[in-house]
Structures are given as C-alpha cells and as structure tokens.
Amino acid sequence: MKVNFNNRDPVYVQVVRHFKEQIATGTLEPGQEIPSRRELANKLKINPNTAQRAYKEMEEAGLIHTERNLPSKITRDEKVLGAVREELIEQAVDSFVTSIRSINVPLDEIVGLLQDKYQKESKE
C-alpha cells in the first residue's frame, strides 16, 4: 500500500482515486477486505478523519460495504465494479479531448504522440 500524493488535489480524493485504480486493474478483488480507517491512516501517515472521508465517499458510491465494526469489503456488485474502469477511462478521455480540441490538433498528430509516450518513461 503506497500512494504517491501530490500537492494539488485533496488527500481524500487521491485516496479514493487510488482505490478506484486498484479496483479497475483487478488488484483489489470483489469481496476483498480493506484496512480499517485507523489502520490506513497509519500506513499513509494521514489523519484518521481523512481516511474516513475517503471511505465514506466510496461507501456512498457503492464501492465498498461496511457492516458494524467488521472490516469494510470491496463490493461484489459486478455492475458497479465494471463501471469504475469505464468511469476512469471516460473521464480521462473526455478531459483530454476537450483540451486538445481547443487547440485544433489533428488526430494523427495526437496518436503519434501517444504512441511515443505511452510505453516510454514509466520511470521517474
């Protein structure tokens, strides 16, 4: 468990994003248990309330379930789980298309740039 925090976005947003990525890539599986609020807070060196806020968002989005004091679990709802990946992708594509179109960049040029950068520079 490791999250590369940036200084722009709120911590709780980045935590949610991180879980969504884990779900989208299958690293987190349906029904899998996740750390408690306080445990997560310890690992990530963040305030427990911040962890709670992230979990609350995910709970409301139906991504996780919590019963009493038992460990929260990733939902088994395939529909919800599938939508996570689609949502992340659509969001990225939409925002990208908006940016690019306002500069009138030909599609060919874009695809070329993407191919260059996609596999490359996985490092840093």
Residue-level length of the chain: 124
Of positions 9, 29, 33, 94, contacts a copy of itself by CB under 8 A: 94
For tokens 């590369």, what's the residue?
A: 4
What is the total count of residues that contact a copy of itself (CB under 8 A)?
Answer: 31
75 binds DNA (CB under 7 A): no
- How many helices, marked H, and strands, marked E, lie in the chain? 5, 2
Helix (H) or strand (E) holding 64: strand 64-65
Distance of closest approach, residue 28 Cβ to a copy of itself, in angstroms: 13
Footprint on this chain of DNA (rule: CB under 7 A): 9-13, 36-39, 46-50, 52-53, 55-56, 59, 66, 68-69, 71-72
